[in-house]
Structure 1
Amino acid sequence: MNEQQFIEALRAKGIELSPTQIAQFRKYFELLVEWNEKMNLTAITEEKEVYLKHFYDSISAAFYYDFTKVTTVCDVGAGAGFPSLPIKICYPHLEVTIVDSLNKRITFLNHLSEELGFQNTNFVHARAEEFGQNKKYRETFDVVTARAVARLSVLSELCVPLVKQGGQFVALKAAAGQEELKDATQAIKLLGTTLVDSHEFTLPIEESERTLYVFDKVKNTPKKYPRKPGTPNKTPIQ
């Protein structure tokens, strides 16, 4: 998917990019490749693949979830900024907070944000488990999202504690989404959410399978969650 195909594909989904936004995506790609030479940000560096597998794939969440109706977004383990920063380019009003455990990624994200002229972005170096217990952030976000971070049973424990009551947890998953959802049933209920929307679709061109889940936060998360760093991954909620 080259730049023009990317622009047209988004237009077909009702997202019209301005010249400024197109330039931001171009700069994003350039900086991603430049910084990737000195630190491991992504295995995907070909322009057509970045536009499809990083930019378009991230924005696909907006085809099914209305980001115009929310303000504060937290992205857990976003790495090089996916999915939240491509979404931020399309919806500049969003106030985006990214938490990542590697400080070098935070350094990249701060530089990227400055170069792209973002406002209302916040990048925090922390383990997601500790971040979720921080009173400054816990249960404060309209929507919390994550892509390709962990299985849903683990991911829900890292993300749901950050969602305010009445907000949503939006999970971007690949083909194994249904299986992961089944495994995460108990965690989703225990943490205070309920599944309200799910969408299965394919990424254009390569036709790889994707699943998007939207969970409503219906009650506060018990204080013990998330547990200590590493625990959710070692012993997921059953």
Structure 2
Amino acid sequence: MSEPRGMSMKDNLISELSGRYGKDKTDKLLRYMQRILEINEHINLTAVREEDEFLEKHIVDSLACNDYEEFQRSKLVVDMGTGGGFPGIPLAVTNPDKKFILADSLNKRLKVINQVAEELGISNIELIHMRAEDMGHNVKYREKIDVCVSRAVASLDILSEWCLPLVKKGGYFIPYKGENAEDETASAETAIKVLGGDIEKIESPSQDKNAISGHRLIFIKKYNNTPKRFPRKPGIAKKSPIR
């Protein structure tokens, strides 16, 4: 699709967002971006420095889940290893009827997200400073979550051990992965089965939009309860993933 004369990529993306989500939500997304980029000068939250790249790689990419019924049905969502608030904050802004728990092991990041969310009046989020391994054994969260999303960089076998224990039966773990998603699912298949899940499909949302940043979404459905011993103690999943 050729860009209208004088329309930058940034303007294009903003007009697409406004068309889909309305002016108020789009303004909130843009203000979140601007504040994160300001704070990023002092605290490293993202490697992205430019607004158009930020819009594509962090905002539009985070919102990919909104297109899928498995996510639309959820009420309680966890974003594991939220980093600078992605995908959790864009999803929270565009889904005010859902509740989002943003978890990260780095409290400094969570404090920033909390401060900016309060400034912007994003109130359907809860921030949790906790390791995934501890969260997975906490009765408040274990097998209570409709959907767990994650753009964390860990490989899928490790990420599954952190996330699947949180998901209730019938719910979904939806990791955002790069172009080697198939290879990762192949090597994580055993772990996913052991943890009570099954890979349903891999979607490539950005192909329709010719986006550069395109993550792919892996839909992992939880069929059985996770055995009590998982997740194992901090550090073990990384050292010896379930194979």
Per the TM superposition, whether the score is higher than 0.5 is: yes
Given residue 64 of structure 2, which amino acid in structure 1 is its aligned partner?
A: S
Counterpart check, 1:43 vs 2:47: yes
Q: Alpha-carbon deviations, 1:118-152, whole Å to 9, x = none?
A: 12211011111111111111111110010133111
Residue in 2 that maps onto 1:99: 103
TM-score (norm 2): 0.90
RMSD after superposition: 1.8
Counterpart check, 1:5 vs 2:9: no
Residue correspondences, number: 235
Residue in 2 that maps onto 1:228: 233
Residue in 1 that maps onto 2:203: 199
Q: Is the 8 A contact 2:202 2:218 kept in 1?
A: yes
Name the % identity.
39
Q: Distance in 1 between matches of 2:194 and 2:155?
A: 16
Q: Which runs of 5+ in 1 are unaligned?
A: none
Q: Is the 8 A contact 1:193 1:216 kept in 2?
A: yes
Provide closer, same or farther for how the CA distance between residues 77 and 236 of structure 1 changes in structure 2, counting only shifts above 3 A: same
Q: Is the 8 A contact 1:147 1:173 kept in 2?
A: yes
Given residue 124 of structure 1, which amino acid in structure 2 is its aligned partner?
A: I
Q: Is the 8 A contact 1:61 1:172 kept in 2?
A: no
Residue in 1 that maps onto 2:72: 68
Q: Distance in 2 between matches of 1:172 and 1:28?
A: 21
Given residue 12 of structure 2, which amino acid in structure 1 is its aligned partner?
A: Q
Q: Distance in 1 between matches of 2:92 and 2:52?
A: 21
Residues 18-167 of structure 1 mapped to structure 2, 5 A cutoff:
18-167=22-171
Given residue 184 of structure 2, which amino acid in structure 1 is its aligned partner?
A: E
Residue in 2 that maps onto 1:211: 216
Provide closer, same or farther for how the CA distance between residues 219 and 161 of structure 1 changes in structure 2, counting only shifts above 3 A: same
Q: Which runs of 5+ in 2 are unaligned?
A: 1-7
Residue in 1 that maps onto 2:242: 237
Residue in 1 that maps onto 2:3: none
Q: Distance in 2 between matches of 1:66 and 1:193?
A: 15
Q: CA deviation at 1:64?
A: 3.3
